[in-house]
Amino acid sequence: MMFPPKKSSHHAEQFINRELSLLQFQRRVLAQAADKTVPLLERLRFLCIVSSNLDEFFEIRVSGIREQIRLGSTSSGTDGIPPTELLTLVSAEVHKILAEQYSLLNDDILPALENEGVVFLRRGLWDDAQSAWIHDFFRREAIPVLTPIGLDPAHPFPRVFNKSLNFAVELEGRDAFGRVSNTAIVQAPRTLPRIIRLPDRPGQPPYTFVFLSSVLHTHVDELFDGMHVQGCYQFRVTRNSDLFFDEEEVKDLRAVLKGELQQRHFGDAVRLEVADNCSAEMADFLLQHFKLGRADLYATPGIVNLVRMMQVPDWVDRPELKYPPFRPGLPKPLEHQRDIFSVIRKQDILLHHPFQSFTPVIDLLRAGADDPQVVAIKMTVYRTGTDSVLMEHLVRAAQKGKEVTVVLELMARFDEEANITWANRLEEAGAHVVYGVFGYKVHAKLLMFVRREPEGLRRYVHLGTGNYHPRTTRFYTDFGLLTANEEIGEDVAEVFKQITGLGRASCLTHLWQAPFTLQPNVVAAIKNETEIARAGRRARIVAKVNALLEPETIEALYEASQAGVNIDLIVRGPCALRPGVPGLSENIRVRSLVGRFLEHHRIMCFRADGENRVYLSSADWMQRNFFRRIEIAFPVLDPRLKRRVIKEGLRGYLTDTQAWDMQPDGHYRHKNSRRIPPRSAQNMLLAELATGG
């Protein structure tokens, strides 16, 4: 049974479109690449992040719009924009973003890198020695794995992988069999590096790279002996990457997913990227083949797919061109602990990543696997990576005979394959693996240990706002809570029982749970502040989420603003609410922060007549999180830790001078001003909680 949101009663002009708001976020990321106070190689990384984000935007969001159009849908969301009009607006905005992105790359970042001895050498600038080495590389490494395909009745257009690098070649002449074909396709195998570093040589910049596309362009004629190459053009196709299957027909979700993953690379095309030197005839030919229109064509003044440059900062050993290293700190109670269970038994522990280490969570799982008093471990896993030390500890615990239960979300987008692999490993070790509740993604972050102690069984719990993924904990801001609170432990046990078994949802003491109580409790807390304001008392809401889209929550915030509630919202990504509109939302401010780390924690603080009710959550304020996922919001009960959350997760962000303030029309204005001393919440947290590298 799904739990749909209440239909919106507000007018469409009071809501901002999700896709257009998400593109505004890409502009804020692009601004980091343009910011000369950001280290140069990090600017390059931000530029690549924009491309990676746009890839997923087309694979999921644009493909969804196109699917609506294909099905003949004319219905719009709360913003009132029909699908056909929205697709036109999206295309126009993405074209603008790409123009700014490549201008920044070609006119600013690449010249600046060249001045620092990091050079991406164009074909026309290769000297004789470089040309000879590149030619040898082509003959030795490329030719053996390349398969040029001339298009004729016996050789149809090859299947093109999603986001793969390909070349369309225009030819003239006859081949060895007398065939006349003026078009061929060359697919760049995934085994070939997209960026090649030239060997060090005296007088050459220390880091000299060439693109695989340049190598193939230069020597493509060697693939077509006796024919004349008239043109060679890079192209890249982005495809619909959502997985589709009939829920009513599914008997084994893991088996169905394995089959669907094979087809993900060949979904319907949604975008065609070509280099801007591509002839109009070839572009039209490719568009026709992939069943796309002119608005779906994106010509780039440079290499297609800037994501391939993401690894360059890791290859270049120039620390002064990167963010300074740091070592995550530890909460004082854990600095010299030998028995982590005894520490948690004495007091709740708050972890603030990446400024504080994720190691205590790993240590806790290691201790749980080894401790003979631990009889059971239960954990939810959404994303964890292909080589996760946490999962290895779970496997080891199961091998030692402990009752290990893992709720593993197979539908975690783009992590399905890794999660299927872990499911197999865990089951082979003797763990119980369940895939949640069909139709609801399990996005809650829960880890529970049941330990036998002199007074009986005791539960130890970790609850988090982010994934159990040791790598992302170094780049994402998240909170984690370690507690032995008996009532919270009972709540967590009840959630696991709901997910793994059958039965009605029980009333939880402290946790708010989607799809049952999370959204109603968020709205009720907003309405409580509204009533406090109407009674003439001070009312305040501060919240931090990745996205704010759910209509009923937005309506409640509008109503609270009109009652006089002072509201600050920190929303990293898309936001459908319009702040600062007279008579509607003049008491609401929305800001966004983009910095060294990806802002990821979700925090709610309701003043509640001075009580300051603080909740941390895995859920954004979106329809999917509230009604189509299993999510958790948990309270911070310890007054000391509550003050820490407010100070570290909210107050510092409200005074950050690098933030972006959202305008009523959905655009953002950078707050930075020469008249204001620079303040960065992330830098302050690094100084306070971490240590130098």
pLDDT-derived band at 203, boundaries 50, 70, 90: confident
CA dihedral of residues 85, 91, 96, 99 (deg, nearest 10): -170
Q: Quick one: average pLDDT of 569-585?
A: 97
Grade residue 262 by pLDDT with cuts at 50, 70 and 90.
low
Fold of 513-692: Endonuclease; Chain A (3.30.870)
The two tokens of residue 600 are: 């990821």
Tokens of 106: 């070609």
> Which run of H or E residues covers position 223?
none
pLDDT band of 470, cuts 50, 70, 90: confident
Pair of tokens at residue 319 = 């620390």
Which pLDDT belongs to residue 230? 92
State the Cα–Cα distance between residues 69 and 291, nearest whole angstrom: 14
Q: Which pLDDT does position 150 carry in this prediction? A: 84
Give the tokens for residue 240: 């619909």
Lowest mean pLDDT among 347-351, 435-439, 609-613: 435-439
Burial class (CB in 10 A: 0-12, 13-18, 19+), 612: middle
Q: Where are the domains of the chain?
A: 12-321, 329-504, 513-692
Active site (catalytic) residues = 443
Q: Is the pLDDT of residue 423 over 90?
A: no
Report whether pLDDT(250) > 80: no
Query: Under a CB-based contact definition with an 8 Å cutoff, are residues 435 and 250 in contact?
Result: no
Query: In the predicted model, what is the mean pLDDT of residues 212-224?
Result: 94
What's the pLDDT at 249?
44
For 475-495, write each residue's pLDDT tens digit: 999 999 999 999 999 999 999
Alpha-carbon distances of 593 from 597, 622, 659, 680, rounded to whole Å? 10, 19, 5, 10
- pLDDT value at residue 2: 46
Q: Is the pLDDT of residue 389 over 50?
A: yes
Q: What is the mean pLDDT of residues 160-180?
A: 81
pLDDT at position 549, please?
A: 97
Cβ atoms within 10 Å, residue 299: 16
Q: Can you give the pTM of this predicted structure?
A: 0.91
| Ranges 177-181, 374-378, 670-674, most confident | 374-378
The pLDDT-based confidence of 245 (bands split at 50, 70, 90) is: very low
**How far, in Å, CA of 238 to CA of 68, rounded?**
18
Phi, psi of 150 (to 5 degrees): -80, 135
Average pLDDT, the chain: 90
- When mean pLDDT is compared across 21-30, 296-305, 676-685, the lowest value belongs to 676-685
Check whether 3 has a pLDDT greater than 90. Answer: no
Sheet harboring 149-150: ordered strands across? Answer: 149-150, 183-187, 166-172, 228-239, 269-275, 297-300
Indicate whether 24 pLDDT > 80: yes
For residues 204-223, average pLDDT: 94
Q: Distance between CA 259 and CA 269 in Å, rounded?
A: 20
- The pLDDT of residue 674 is 60
Would you say residue 251 has pLDDT above 80?
Answer: no
Listing DSSP states for 437-485 in one string gives BTTBEE--EEEEEEEEETTEEEEEEEEESS-S-TTGGGTEEEEEEEE--
Q: Are 165 and 188 in contact (CB under 8 A)?
A: yes
Strands 403-408 and 456-464: unpaired
Residue 205 has pLDDT above 80, yes or no: yes
Looking at residue 621, the DSSP 8-state letter turns out to be B
Distance CA(477)–CA(473), nearest Å, equals 7
Q: Which of 47-56, 181-190, 253-262, 403-412 has the highest mean pLDDT?
A: 47-56
Give residue-wise pLDDT tens across range 308-335: 999 999 999 999 999 999 999 999 999 8
* Banded model confidence at residue 248, pLDDT cuts 50, 70, 90: very low
Nearest alpha carbon to residue 551 among 169, 5, 4: 5
Class of domain 12-321: alpha beta
How far, in Å, are 142, 143, 185 from residue 223 at the CA level? 11, 8, 11
Which residue would you say has higher pLDDT here, 416 or 137?
A: 137
* pLDDT at residue 196 tops 70: yes
Q: What does the pLDDT look like over 119-149, one tens digit per residue?
A: 999 998 999 999 999 999 999 999 999 989 8
Q: Is 405 helix (H, G, I), strand (E, B) or coil?
A: strand
Binning pLDDT at 50, 70 and 90, where does residue 437 land? confident
Q: Amino acid identity, residue 447? A: L
Instruction: Please determine, for residue 257, whether its predicted confidence score (pLDDT) is greater than 50.
Output: no
Between β-strands 660-662 and 588-592, what pairing exists: parallel, antiparallel or unpaired?
Answer: antiparallel
74-107: burial string, b at 16+ Cβ within 10 Å, e else: eeebbbebebeebbeebbebbeebbeebbebbee
Q: Which CATH superfamily is domain 329-504 in?
A: Endonuclease Chain A (3.30.870.10)
DSSP H or E run through 631: strand 629-635
Distance CA 125, CA 295 (A): 34
Specify the pLDDT at position 263: 53
pLDDT of 155: 66
* 588 sits in which H/E element: strand 588-592
Average confidence (pLDDT) over 400-416 = 78
Tell me how many degrees the CA angle 60-619-23 measures, rounded to the nearest 5: 40
Asked if 329-504 and 513-692 have one fold, the answer is: yes
pLDDT at position 413:
56
